A = this chain, B = another copy of it.
Amino acid sequence: MTKRLFEIDPWVIQTTALATDDKRLQESITAIGNGYMGMRGNFEEHYSGDTHRGIYLAGVWFPDKTRVGWWKNGYPKYFGKAINSPDFLSIPITVNGVDVDLAKVAYQDFSLRLDMHNGVLRRQFTVTIKDAQVRFAFMRFMSNQTRSLAVIQVQAEVLAGKAQIVFAPRIDGDVHNEDANYDESFWQPKAVAPNCLTMATKPNPFGTPRFTVTEKMANTFSGDGTVSRHMTQGTQAVQEILTTELEAGQQATLVKYVAVITSRDVPKDQQPTAAQAVLDAAVAKPVTTHLAEHTAVWAKRWARSDVQIHGDDAAQQGIRFNILQLFMTYYGEDARLNVGPKGFTGEKYGGATYWDTEAYIVPMYLATAAPKVTEHLLEYRYDQLPGAFHNARQQGLKGALYPMVTFDGIECHNEWEITFEEIHRNASVAFAIYNYTDYTGDTDYVLTKGVDVLVAIARFWADRVHFSKRNGQYMIHGVTGPNEYENNVNNNWYTNKMAQWCLRYTLQILAQVSDQKAQALAVSGAEKAQWQDIIDRMYLPEDAELGIFVQHDGFLDKDLRPASALDPAERPLNQHWSWDKILRSPFIKQADVLQGIYYLDDEFTLAQKRRNFDFYEPMTVHESSLSACIHSIIAAEIGEVDKAVALYQRTARLDLDNYNNDTEDGLHITSMTGSWLAIVQGFAGMRHKNGQLRFKPFCPDNWTGYQFKLNFRGRLLVVAVDNAGCTLTVEKGDALRVFVDSQPITLTPGVAQHLAN
């Protein structure tokens, strides 16, 4: 079922085959970006075969008219989408008058290579056209030094014959989203000038901001032949035509520098000037300098985040690919941004922000990047509180409901069972505040801004529960848990448990805020008492006989059976079964009870974890990219090592091996952290609580070892594990007391402490 297009290599994603039948999949995997902008692995030159061209600019979006089967009250009015930006990658090329189009001309020596050290994409091929044999070599990156700059280089070398080569670098505003609901274009042209195009998003009736974007290029040429060049422009495209003639053995190099300026940062009338300034600085340095500066940024990132796996290059490649792609999507420079489910690699799902960020991404950034990165993710939600209040009001509820899908805090997706009911997302927003506070030790954030979010969320839960007189308990009806293969259930254990946790944590934090803050929050004694009553009398479905937490009321009435009983031809279920059949089946898309056990880890005994894992894992089909890592972590903890490793493989190579048969739509960016979580929290058993780190490491049988680094409260800690034991070193910072297999160990800076099994 899986499909692998690229070779196994620890640091490189490469192939010598152009996957004409899987071009979209190949494009997804060779996507690159720099947090500010990104693009799918499309070709510079014209390609007439199946392709999905896509370039996306962070934070530039459009409220597409929504589609619903039947309108229901409270539905959001638009579906916010990351929009395909004016195409600045394009460099049509002809050789002796023939279009270099790999879908039409014969080629050899094709190679495609993404270097994971620095996110640089290279491509090469040789074409023979009208007696001329020409080798083309492409190189591109989005600069991490100057984030509004894209560097695209084409080198042509004539191997035989004589060639007139025309390069036609262009910027083209005639782009559209494949996922537009009504095939509408989202852009309109504003201005064209030599090599410079300004476009704006169309007006919309929803009051969301419009964006203006200027893209300007400077094309430098060097080569053995002379060049003639001239510029052209249309209503929404600009182009430069560079023509050169080369003999055998001669070569030419075109560098297309593109500056991309958006109204998020620069007012529209100043954009052309700003773009020119970027280009002036760009052309003043050779490409090699740009590349070196760019690579240096990456080197720093890798120095604190690389995970080494010894003895399993496929696993090694998987995790590096995940870290690379995640960091190319977001590295926390801009608190107005977040991590979209497809990043810059596709359009599906729309929106910029899902609960994935808090649930899966925050823990990794906490440990692999500066605290500021995570803080920016928290501030994003803080800044969007007005939207969250709006969402709750739309449902007639108090407090704040963070959206399932959003750009600006306002819910922008329409499925009642998800947007109205998958409210557990609110708990993850709160949990991320706890996570940040506990991991970093920084209480400033939670006591100033975080508590505003916590109180707003607590007020939502307190209004969303109802008291069942018959049972004498609080309940939460009509929800969808993390397992989206059940909708509109009552008393989802995970949701109820996390709502209870939110109220409890909010009360804890409230007890610590300043008088002034307390006054501003105005949580009355009666309100606190009500929250405490909900905490005390929250209904949490359990089954005493099975010794498990029950996914929701009614789950145990289902026709319970293991996923192994399914015909493999029916997998994945979501591509084969009618939706109603999925809903009433016992099969679980994504960890639900186990997600709660993962979050509230130390509230449960190992025996409880084991019983719940043993009960739920066999019914879990992991058809969400977010599922496998949580199961892997719990499997590791309860000693199900083989299972933990198998689930790691699935999460680490989800896209590289196209496990879910949908990577052609784009990468699963928000689940990229899964492999990191599985290694660090699963295999190494890392947990944190009250400023203390704990480990319980093991090494998978077929690995000879693995190593990762953690940023923790001013230290850089190196953790290396092999079959003999583990070695811990504080590489930077002060001494640190940690627990390994429940034993306290004090680590002296610079001294590797080895602990045998």
Contacts and interface: CB of A to CB of B under 8 A. Distances in A.
Interface of A: 66-70, 72-75, 182, 394-397, 413-417, 420-421, 466-471, 475, 477-478, 487-488, 490, 553-554, 556-560, 574-584
Contacts of A68: 67-69
Contact of A558 (B66, B468, B487, B554): B468
Given A70-B415, A477-B584, A578 B396 contact: yes
Given A68-B68, A416-B580, 8 more contacts: A67-B69, A73-B574, A74-B580, A396-B578, A466-B558, A468-B557, A478-B580, A554-B554
A683 to B, nearest CB: 36
A354 to B, nearest CB: 14
Question: Taking each of A74, A414, A553, which has the highest tally of chain B beta carbons within 10 Å of its own beta carbon?
Answer: A74
Given A67-B67, A478-B584, A584-B477, A467 B559 contact: yes
A154 to B, nearest CB: 40
Main secondary structure of the interface of A (DSSP, over half): loop
13 contacts: A67-B69, A74-B581, A182-B182, A395-B580, A416-B579, A420-B580, A467-B559, A468-B559, A477-B557, A477-B558, A477-B584, A553-B553, A553-B554
A575 B470 contact: no
A544 B659 CA distance: 51
Contacts of A583: 416, 478, 488
Nearest to A72: B579
| Closest 10 A/B residue pairs (Cβ) | A74-B578, A420-B580, A478-B584, A72-B579, A466-B559, A477-B584, A395-B578, A488-B488, A468-B557, A69-B414
B415 A69 contact: yes
A556 to B, nearest CB: 6
A355 B478 CA distance: 26
A475 B477 CA distance: 21
Contacts of A466: 558-559, 584
A490 B67 CA distance: 28
A556 B475 CA distance: 12
Contacts of A575: 73
A142 B550 CA distance: 62
Contacts of A470: 556-557
Contacts of A415: 69-70
B579 A73 contact: yes
Contacts of A580: 74, 395, 416, 420-421, 478
A69 B67 CA distance: 5
Contacts of A574: 73
